[in-house]
Amino acid sequence: LHEEGILYRDLKASNLLIDETGVVKLVDFGLSKKIGSNKTKSLCGTAHSLPPEIFDPQGYGFSLDYFSLGILTFELLTG
């Protein structure tokens, strides 16, 4: 998604599905936004996985998805 300039903004366990071959698929692209190489300032996403930079007046970019990936990884490892 990032290679296409798309920010996902809602990465969490409930938005992941596993197909019949065991491949993980992303679902629910309702909060996704095409930003290219720019930044966005809209406040959205799941409250427990919002990074501090979402409140930055300068805006945020793909770092939001990486922060959410870290939280998802922690949740999957710790239960």
Strands 16-18 and 6-7: unpaired
Catalytic residue, candidates 10, 19, 56, 65: 10
The H-or-E segment that residue 78 falls in is helix 63-78
**Catalytic-residue membership of 28:** no
- Are the beta carbons of 54 and 65 closer than 8 angstroms? no
Active-site amino acid positions: 10
